[in-house]
């Protein structure tokens, strides 16, 4: 049984679905489904059902990528190997997103159901750990987390391939100290300049430098003969679009386990999802944050406000006095209330990466941009590089871990970036407004 993402629809929508057709792009691949609902809008209502609202019609047009664009209409696209329907409400050509309490209600086949081998067939690559071992240890948290991150990688890659028309290159790698990973990268695509979605499952002994980093965060680690056996796994992604009106997105969800001298284990989860736009779009920001809030609220009403603040503080470029983007959620060292609940929370967050980002991508597919806007995108990418190389914990841990794959660690860096001496945008410009928000983070919802 494969993992699927489904929105339930009522009988009305099933009848309207007969109006849908698949448009083939200029590259000969199937484009996303476009719903042509004459004189109607589709609204997503509580309970996961669609309704129709009367509105004016707008003509359809073909884009340079060969997609069909409907202003005032809607798009549905395939993700995770099944149908994930994302509604976009248009008013006068501007997109209005459904409220976030519905955004994460993608009913996914319950983790743990179905045959392990069948689930593995939906992945971008066979898992890092041998399937026989996964079958024998299916109840272990390390196995369950590895299966979850493999599914997250596959669902996100397939959603990105659908919108871009390109294909991810898949690279398997291993480290002699234990474990390995799977790197999926799409470069110079139609929409994405560079898109990377990595899975790593590594084990061995913590280096003193890595242990020092963890102790600095309050971890009490007691090794045997100075050694600390560990296993760590996670999925991480950074997407750099070509169009400056499509934001960069990053997410990372991980699990860490350390065996101490007495044989007991310390474990914790970490992760988050954050958005880095080049220009402020209030609707995009509200949609993104509402989607994450919905996932958090299913587990703890304090998670979103706490982890949103943590995200603003974490993705702060101290030497610039500004945040990297408009935030999202971030958490680390999460080990309560219990392992099962934290794992379920992490899965809920991971399941939002498609619905919180792909509607924003589709919304801006046809946005035009100027050379000046492209230059500003390059300057902001420079800030992105600065944060990742100077402050990011994942990069630091990877570089400090023997046998790590450097190409995968630095996958987060864009193909191109720009540093201008003493750059400061003119007052009153869109660029100045963006910078003001980065220097003074705000509440988006």
Total Cβ atoms within 10 A of residue 218? 7
Q: How far apart are CA 129 and CA 150, in angstroms?
A: 11
- For residue 43 the two structure tokens come to 């609204």
Phi/psi of residue 301, nearest 5 degrees: -65, -15
Q: How far apart are CA 70 and CA 62, in angstroms?
A: 9
Q: How far apart are CA 299 and CA 338, in angstroms?
A: 12
Q: How far apart are CA 73 and CA 90, in angstroms?
A: 7
**DSSP secondary structure letters along 145-171:** HHHHHHHHHHHHHHHHHHHH----EEE
Q: How far apart are CA 309 and CA 105, in angstroms?
A: 24
Q: How far apart are CA 212 and CA 207, in angstroms?
A: 9
Residues 6+ apart with CB under 8 A from 239: 160, 192, 194, 195, 196, 248, 249, 250, 357
Q: How far apart are CA 365 and CA 371, in angstroms?
A: 17
Which stretches of 316-366 are assigned E, i.e. beta strand? Answer: 316-317, 322-323, 327-334
Indicate if 245 belongs to the active site: no
3-state secondary structure 91-126: ECCEEECCCHHHCCCCECCCCCCCCHHHHHCCCCCC
Instruction: Report the candidate in 424, 445, 444 with the shortest Cα–Cα distance to residue 436.
Output: 424
Q: How far apart are CA 273 and CA 256, in angstroms?
A: 18
Of 250, 287, 289, 364, catalytic: 250
Q: Given its phi and psi angles, is residue 318 left (phi above 0), alpha (psi -120 to 50 degrees) or beta? A: alpha
Q: How far apart are CA 136 and CA 132, in angstroms?
A: 6
Q: Report whether 162 contacts 32 (CB < 8 A).
A: yes
Q: Which residues are catalytic?
A: 250
């Amino acid at each position: 049984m494969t993992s699927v993402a489904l929105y339930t629809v009522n009988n009305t929508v099933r009848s309207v679905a007969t109006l849908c057709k698949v448009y083939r792009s200029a590259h000969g691949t199937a484009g996303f489904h476009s719903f042509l609902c004459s004189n109607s809008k589709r609204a997503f209502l509580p309970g996961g059902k669609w309704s129709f609202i009367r509105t004016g019609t707008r003509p359809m047009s073909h884009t340079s990528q060969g997609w069909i664009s409907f202003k005032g209409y809607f798009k549905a696209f395939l993700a995770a190997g099944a149908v994930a329907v994302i509604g976009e409400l248009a008013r006068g050509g501007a997109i209005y997103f459904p409220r976030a309490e519905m955004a994460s209600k993608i009913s996914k086949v319950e983790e743990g159901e179905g045959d392990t081998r069948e689930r593995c067939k939906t992945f971008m690559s066979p898992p890092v750990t041998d399937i026989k071992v996964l079958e024998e240890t299916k109840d272990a948290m390390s196995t369950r987390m590895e299966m979850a991150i493999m599914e997250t990688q596959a669902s996100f890659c397939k959603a990105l391939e659908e919108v871009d028309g390109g294909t991810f290159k898949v690279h398997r790698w291993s480290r002699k100290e234990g474990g390995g990973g799977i790197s999926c990268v799409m470069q110079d695509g139609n929409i994405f300049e560079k898109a990377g979605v990595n899975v790593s499952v590594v084990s061995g002994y913590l280096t003193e430098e890595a242990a020092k980093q963890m102790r600095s965060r309050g971890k009490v680690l007691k090794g045997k003969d100075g050694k600390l056996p560990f296993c760590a796994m996670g999925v991480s992604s950074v997407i750099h679009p070509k169009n400056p009106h499509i934001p960069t997105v990053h997410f990372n969800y991980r699990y860490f386990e350390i065996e101490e001298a007495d044989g007991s284990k310390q474990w914790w989860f970490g992760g988050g999802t954050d958005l880095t736009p080049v220009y402020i779009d209030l609707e995009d920001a509200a949609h993104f944050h509402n989607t994450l809030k919905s996932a958090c609220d299913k587990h703890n009403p304090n998670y979103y406000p706490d982890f949103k603040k943590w995200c603003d503080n974490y993705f702060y470029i101290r030497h610039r006095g500004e945040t990297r983007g408009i935030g999202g959620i971030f958490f680390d060292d999460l080990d309560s209330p219990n392992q099962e609940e934290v794992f379920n929370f992490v899965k809920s967050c991971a399941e939002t990466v498609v619905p919180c980002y792909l509607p924003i991508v589709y919304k801006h597919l046809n946005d035009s941009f100027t050379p000046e806007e492209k230059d500003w995108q390059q300057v902001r990418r420079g800030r992105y590089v600065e944060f990742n190389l100077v402050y990011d914990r994942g990069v630091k841990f990877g570089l400090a871990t023997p046998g790590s794959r450097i190409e995968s660690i630095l996958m987060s860096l864009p193909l191109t970036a720009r540093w201008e001496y003493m750059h400061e945008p003119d007052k009153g410009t869109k660029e100045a407004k963006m910078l003001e928000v980065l220097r003074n983070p705000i509440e988006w919802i």
